[in-house]
Every structure is written in C-alpha cells, then in structure tokens.
C-alpha cells in the first residue's frame, strides 16, 4: 500500500513553506517516525516523519520548492524494512579487510545521534563524529553543525570567488526566516511612525533580591533559576494594565485594545532571532515565567519551536544586553505598537541625595508607534516599568 506524505496544516498567518532538506533519497528504506524532510516557514522549521515502515518511492517536491498546507510532497510504499541482501557477485568475491573495517565503522557510527543529511556531509568531507559538536536535542549532530565545521576547516572552494588583493567573497541565498525578518523590519520602519524614548534603571534592588532568595527560589520551584527576565515581564504586565494603549495594536483604521497581556520574548536561535510568546502573562507568577522562558530557549536551540509558540503577542521585550549592547533602539514588531529593549548592566557613578554612589545601571529603550501612543503615555509607561524594577515589592502588591 502506497501512502502519500503530506505537508502539515499551516495556520492562516503562514500561507506557505519551502522544502528545506530531504533526509532520504528515492528508494531508501524508512522506519515509522523516521525523519523524512524539513519544511521551512517564515517562523519555524517543521519536521515531517514517515507514518509507516517502508520505502520512499516518490518525491513530488524537491529542495527549494514552495508548498502549501496539506499538499502531497512524496509517497512511501508500506512494507517491512529488511536488511539489504548481498548480491551474487559479493557471494563469489570475499570482501576486502579494509571494506569490512569500513562497514564496521559505518555500523558503529550509525548508533551516534547524527541526522542522515549530516552523516552524508561528514562522509564527503572525511569528518568523524568526534570532530563535530552537536547542537540538536540530546547532542544530535545536524546538517548545520557539519556545515559550520566545514567553514572552519576548509577554505572557500571557488577560485573565481577570490578578488583582487586576495580578498574572498561568498554569495549565499538568505534563509526564509532571515528574508522574512528583513521584510518585516523594513515594513516596520516604512509603515509606522516609530519613535524611541529612553530611561535608566538601578538594578541593585533586583540583584540584591536575587542574591538573597535565589537558592530558596530554585529549591522551591524544582530547580527553576530566578533570572532578570521574570522581573521585566511582570513589571511590563503591570505597566500595560495602567497604559492599555501600549498593549494595543492597529488593524487598518481600527485600534484593537487587548484585554490580556501576551508578552513576546526575543530569543536567539541557530536560524536567527525568534520571538516566542508568553500567553496570558498576566496570570503567570515569577516561577512560571522563568520556566516557560527556559523551555523556549531549549526549543529554540533545538529548532523545536512551533508556529503556535510564536503566533500573536501584544507586546515584545528584547534583551540585547546578553550580547553586550549598552544602548539601542529596538524596531517594532507589527501589528504591535511598542517594544521594550533591555541592555547591559554596567556600574556607573550616580548622584543619590547629594552623594556619589557606584550602582549597577541599565539603559531601557521603548520604541513605539506615535500614531497610536502619545509621547506622554510612552514616557509614563517607561517610568512605571522603572519604578516597578527599582522597588520589586510593588510587583507583588500590584501598586
């Protein structure tokens, strides 16, 4: 029985996808739940697995082709997966010792957590599993891991890429995610009246609180670590309640006021910056926020974030400080009308009641759509966030 392999159902916000990598070739045997193909969308990479044991008999969509929801992309003929039988020629001529050793080596390597596409690349470039650091789940070596290793150990192959003066250029197409990010950033700068207001926050109260309770917090909440982001999420949630325009979005000529706070948290992934969303953050405690952000971070690193994880959001927080950024102007994430930028914590001399003190300070930046939010509202919102952070007890008391 032949079973069609179909693309998964995509949400309305994702009209199509692209075949990124086939991990099997025509005629290859496959096992149930074995990875067949990666489909890249504007938001995530979706893995499509085989529904049965059998043989891949048809590929309708090649690498780079565009697909839509539930479109047939290949077919598997159901049947038992058997070991390949030796040919008559191989029965007559014994295998050479070197070939036997190579076969044993291949068998040993097959037990390593390596994707089929990565294994093929490693064989082509004479790389061993020990030479490549796996970034996938459980240390799985992915195709991207191998490509990164190849870039380090091998010079660019094309001589015509070398220009005068010995300088080297390499031209590669944008990934679908990078292309979509570029499109959205350009749209945000061209279709919104974006303005940024700045302030600074004394991080000492939060740092002291973390230092005092971090061990008890981790023990109480099953190993969950108390980070800075939960303070910022909770502070923004309370500030958004006071200034609902900052939590609104623009839909054509309409303003949509959201009666909930879904906070997008920008995190880095091997494919670029992604923004998973904390749903109903107004109902989440500090521990729940930290647990969910940790989960998002792991899924982003493993390429496991789903479309539902990144759909929606009423407000976004971006932390450039983890990369060392001291000050920046974050770009809006339409249709949202505001985004908060966090930055590096740096000790600076501050005048406090006539005295100079060295305090751990952080610059905050709020970019907002001036069509929707007045400057007064934006400044007051940012000051409110600052007040919550400098007196964290107000977060608990919601005052």
Backbone angles phi, psi at 188, to 5 degrees: -65, -40
Q: Are 386 and 364 a contacting pair, CB within 8 Å? A: yes
Tell me how far apart the alpha carbons of residues 280 and 262 are, in angstroms, rounded to a whole number.
5
Give the per-residue SS3 of the chain: CEEEEECCCCCCCCCCEEEEEECCCCCCEECCCCEEEEEECCCCEEEEECCCCEEEEEECCCCCCEECCCCEEEEEEECCCCCCCCCHHHHHCCCCHHHHHHHHHHHHHHCCCECHHHHHHHHHCCCCHHHCCCCCHHHCECHHHHHHHHHHHCCCCCHHHECHHHCECCCCCCCHHHHHHHHHHHHHHHHCCEEEEEEEEECHHHHHHHHHHHHHHHHHCCCCCCCCHHHHHHHHHHHHHHCHHHHCEEECCEEECCCCCCEEECEEECCEEECCEECCHHHCCHHHHHHHHHHHHHHHHHCCCCHHHHCCCCEEEEEHHHHCCCCCCCCCCCCECEEEEECCCEEEEEEECCEEEEEEEEEEEEEEECCCCCHHHHHHHHHHHHHHHHCCHHHHHCC
Q: Which residues pair with 257 in a beta bridge?
A: none
β-strands 35-40, 45-49 pairing: antiparallel
Nearest Cα residue to 276 out of 266, 287, 291, 284: 266
* 16 carries an active-site annotation: no
Catalytic residue among 16, 370, 387, 391: 370
Catalytic residue among 106, 208, 374, 391: 374
Backbone angles phi, psi at 41, to 5 degrees: -115, -175
Q: Are 53 and 80 a contacting pair, CB within 8 Å? A: yes
* 370 carries an active-site annotation: yes
Give the residue numbers marked as catalytic: 370, 374
């Amino acid at each position: 029985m032949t079973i069609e392999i179909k693309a998964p159902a995509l949400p309305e916000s994702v009209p199509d996808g692209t075949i990124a990598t086939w991990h099997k070739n025509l005629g290859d045997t496959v096992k149930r739940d074995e990875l067949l193909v990666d489909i890249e969308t504007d938001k995530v990479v979706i893995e499509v697995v085989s529904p049965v044991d059998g043989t891949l008999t048809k590929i309708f969509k090649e690498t780079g082709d565009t697909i839509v929801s539930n479109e047939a992309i290949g077919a598997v003929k159901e049947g038992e997966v058997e070991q390949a039988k030796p040919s008559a020629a191989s029965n007559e001529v014994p295998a050479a010792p070197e070939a036997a050793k190579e076969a044993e080596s291949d068998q040993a390597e097959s037990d390593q957590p390596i994707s089929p596409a990565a294994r093929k690349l490693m064989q082509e470039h004479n790389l061993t599993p020990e030479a490549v650091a796996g970034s996938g789940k459980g240390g799985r070596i992915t195709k991207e891991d191998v490509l990164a290793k190849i870039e380090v150990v091998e010079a660019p192959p094309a001589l015509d890429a070398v220009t005068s003066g010995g300088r080297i250029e390499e031209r590669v197409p944008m990934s679908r995610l990078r292309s979509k990010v570029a499109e959205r950033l350009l749209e945000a700068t061209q279709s919104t009246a974006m303005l940024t207001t700045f302030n600074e926050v004394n991080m000492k109260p939060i740092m002291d609180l973390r230092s005092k309770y971090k061990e008890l917090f981790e023990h109480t909440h099953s190993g969950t670590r108390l980070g800075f982001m939960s303070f910022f999420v909770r502070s923004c949630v309370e500030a958004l309640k006071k200034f609902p325009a900052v939590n609104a979005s623009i839909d054509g000529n309409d303003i949509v006021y959201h009666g909930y706070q879904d906070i997008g948290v920008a995190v880095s992934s091997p494919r670029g910056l992604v923004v998973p969303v904390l749903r109903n953050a107004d109902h989440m405690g500090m521990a729940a926020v930290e647990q969910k952000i940790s989960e998002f971070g792991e899924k982003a690193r493993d390429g496991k974030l789903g479309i539902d994880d990144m759909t929606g959001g009423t407000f976004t927080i971006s932390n450039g400080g983890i990369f060392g950024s001291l000050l920046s102007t974050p770009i809006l994430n339409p249709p949202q009308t505001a985004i908060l930028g966090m930055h590096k914590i740096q000790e600076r001399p501050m005048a406090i009641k006539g005295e100079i003190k060295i305090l751990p300070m952080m610059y905050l930046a709020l970019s907002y759509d001036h069509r929707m939010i007045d400057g007064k509202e934006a400044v007051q919102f940012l000051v409110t966030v600052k007040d919550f952070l400098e007196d964290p007890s107000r977060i608990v008391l919601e005052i």
